[in-house]
Chain A
């Protein structure tokens, strides 16, 4: 079985992001970067699938050269090979361009399942898996919180507003996974050493025969950025046994009890 997992290198989500005031693009200079924590679940899901059914996991990523670190981390976790699509023209890509590039890469590689997170932690548009599925003309099995594979039938619990649906799909599909679908493994020392000799390809949009992708063709642009009004702090009390009574008073003032 061929599983393709999409990963992204992002600014450390534990630090507050910043926009470049002149370009309105995410500031990437001088910021620690990590593999998007949401993608670790996708890598783990891919590895589990091939461990059970045989086959290989290929990691694909679009982004600047630094994105190689995320790909290497996934290789260290156990993926067989990696592909980074990188080109200056891709800077400022919107969700649709990203989906086109990743879909073309997955198609070139060949796949039974393409796995993504439900959204990226930094941009969180949250429509790349669906857009990829449309381009690849396969079902998008989204928001998976549990995954089972039986032959070429994938059985997934899909999160919904109210609970979850059980979805059955025959391969090939695009699968998006939620945090909590599994417990991502840490790369072992052996994995980290072994990753160095695994194949790692670089591609450009031209290699994928893609035109009209990237920042220049984004159908949207940021026209204004301003600080959001923040709520102020109110009254803070230390609980000395009267905390509960104070909250009850507050609820009564607000007429909810």
Chain B
């Protein structure tokens, strides 16, 4: 038995719906008879086309510019609580992003309903149940939510594929709930993007990731050059080098970073800790370059090369350039 009403908290950036939200709308079509999206952004209305095409019948658009001037968690949770009261959704899906977590956490506390995070699968058979994996994805766990409606589930991006349903734009319903004065105590005064040019980490056909084995931050240039030679490729990183300040967090792959599912993932000087591999083991193919033949990364590599990454990566870049120029 499907649910009556499933909502998706949809994030919008640069006038476009974030892919993670469209993945959730696609999944929501299986779970509920009515699928709706809620957006908090001055650009909310621009998402109606994408949201509709992925299954949202309605888009609740809270487009007060104040939503971008403050931290979203407080005011969005307030507005959502009011909307929940009015429309009584059975389930609200959030993507596991910073804002998704901020809003979902506050909303759960406000409504006193349970929240499950790190979801990789969601099912609704009368009740809502969630699949997730624990201990570095060695165990799959199913959790049933039984603490009242709406169930709040935070889903890891890339858990589902976004597929258009062929429907037209979502019906726009403006939400005119003002941002309370108390939320203006935490203001966003500047936004900085640290993403490299070229394809996005989550969308590239090939991800070339570097770890501590690169020995020096400047050796990430070798990976940039390799990605450049491949073409549709982006550079990622392990947390060890992000924490060390070598590269920005936006490049981190893993449990506390991004999930990527490229055609090929190339791990360069990365040991293969569970917390890293949960973010990349969904790749179609994995290549690992590591000088330690016992490195755990080789246990899941389709092709492993035991050797010095600082030698092999430049050679590979040259080899690809040579082949491409033929």
Say yes or no: B193 contacts A137, CB within 8 Å: no
**Cβ–Cβ < 8 Å partners of A237 in chain B:** 303-306
Looking at B28-36, B48-56, B209-217, B316-324, the stretch in contact with chain A turns out to be B316-324
Q: Is the interface of A mostly helix, strand, loop or mixed?
A: mixed
Q: Once the chains are docked, how many angstroms separate the CA of A137 from the CA of B78?
A: 11
Looking at A187-195, A196-204, A246-254, the stretch in contact with chain B turns out to be A246-254
Say yes or no: B101 contacts A127, CB within 8 Å: yes
Given A139-B71, A219-B145; A163-B304 close (CB under 8 Å): no
Q: Please, what's the 1-or-0 string for A137-148, where 1 marks a CB less than 8 Å from any CB in chain B?
A: 111111101000
Q: How many interface residues does chain B have, given as a range?
A: 35 or more
**Cβ–Cβ < 8 Å partners of A143 in chain B:** 98
| Chain B, range 62-110, C-beta contacts under 8 Å to A | 71, 73-74, 77, 96-98, 101-110
Q: Once the chains are docked, how many angstroms separate the CA of A168 from the CA of B184?
A: 10
Say yes or no: A235 contacts B302, CB within 8 Å: yes
A221 within 8 A of B: yes
Say yes or no: A244 contacts B139, CB within 8 Å: no
Looking at B2-10, B39-47, B171-179, B283-291, the stretch in contact with chain A turns out to be B283-291
Say yes or no: B142 contacts A224, CB within 8 Å: yes
B15 within 8 A of A: no
Residue tally, chain A, CB below 8 Å to B: 83
**Cβ–Cβ < 8 Å partners of B113 in chain A:** 219
Say yes or no: A96 contacts B324, CB within 8 Å: no
A52 within 8 A of B: no
Closest Cβ of chain B to A139, distance in Å, is 4
Given A127-B117, A139-B71, A219-B114; A165-B192 close (CB under 8 Å): yes
| Chain A, range 12-43, C-beta contacts under 8 Å to B | 16-19, 24
B1 within 8 A of A: no
A178 within 8 A of B: yes
Given A233-B301, A251-B320; A222-B106 close (CB under 8 Å): no
Q: Once the chains are docked, how many angstroms separate the CA of A228 from the CA of B148?
A: 29
Say yes or no: A142 contacts B109, CB within 8 Å: no
Residue ID in chain A nearest B140 by CB atoms: A228
Say yes or no: B299 contacts A222, CB within 8 Å: no
Closest Cβ of chain B to A216, distance in Å, is 12
Residue ID in chain B nearest A145 by CB atoms: B249
Residue ID in chain A nearest B142 by CB atoms: A224
**Cβ–Cβ < 8 Å partners of A160 in chain B:** 98, 191, 250
**Cβ–Cβ < 8 Å partners of A95 in chain B:** 105, 108, 115, 117
**Cβ–Cβ < 8 Å partners of A170 in chain B:** 185
Q: Name the one of A140, A141, A166, A178 contacting B190, with C-beta atoms under 8 angstroms.
A: A166
Given A126-B101, A134-B110, A221-B144; A254-B316 close (CB under 8 Å): no
Say yes or no: A96 contacts B114, CB within 8 Å: yes
A208 within 8 A of B: no
Q: Name the one of B104, B106, B193, B299 contacting A133, with C-beta atoms under 8 angstroms.
A: B106
Q: Please, what's the 1-or-0 string for A86-120, where 1 marks a CB less than 8 Å from any CB in chain B?
A: 00000000111001100000000000000000110
Given A158-B98, A223-B143; A167-B106 close (CB under 8 Å): no
**Cβ–Cβ < 8 Å partners of B305 in chain A:** 236-239, 243, 246-247
Q: Name the one of A100, A128, A225, A250 contacting B141, with C-beta atoms under 8 angstroms.
A: A225
Given A134-B109, A218-B147; A163-B74 close (CB under 8 Å): no
Q: Name the one of A124, A130, A220, A233 contacting B143, with C-beta atoms under 8 angstroms.
A: A220
Closest Cβ of chain A to B246, distance in Å, is 11
B16 within 8 A of A: no
B205 within 8 A of A: yes
Residue ID in chain B nearest A217 by CB atoms: B147
Closest Cβ of chain B to A248, distance in Å, is 4
**Cβ–Cβ < 8 Å partners of A135 in chain B:** 109
**Cβ–Cβ < 8 Å partners of A179 in chain B:** 239, 243, 256
Closest Cβ of chain A to B3, distance in Å, is 17
Say yes or no: B250 contacts A161, CB within 8 Å: yes
Given A96-B112, A256-B232; A219-B301 close (CB under 8 Å): no
**Cβ–Cβ < 8 Å partners of A163 in chain B:** 191-195, 248, 250
Name B's A-contacting residues (CB within 8 A): 13, 71, 73-74, 77, 96-98, 101-110, 112-118, 129, 133-148, 154, 182-183, 185-195, 205-206, 229-233, 239, 242-245, 248-250, 255-256, 258, 263-264, 266, 274, 281, 284-287, 289, 293, 298-308, 311-313, 315-316, 318-320, 323-324
Pairs A-B, 5 closest by C-beta atoms: A219-B147, A239-B307, A130-B105, A127-B105, A219-B114
Contact sample, A vs B, 17 pairs, CB 8 Å cutoff: A19-B141, A124-B255, A124-B256, A126-B96, A134-B105, A139-B185, A140-B71, A140-B106, A165-B190, A166-B191, A169-B187, A219-B148, A224-B140, A225-B139, A226-B140, A248-B323, A254-B284
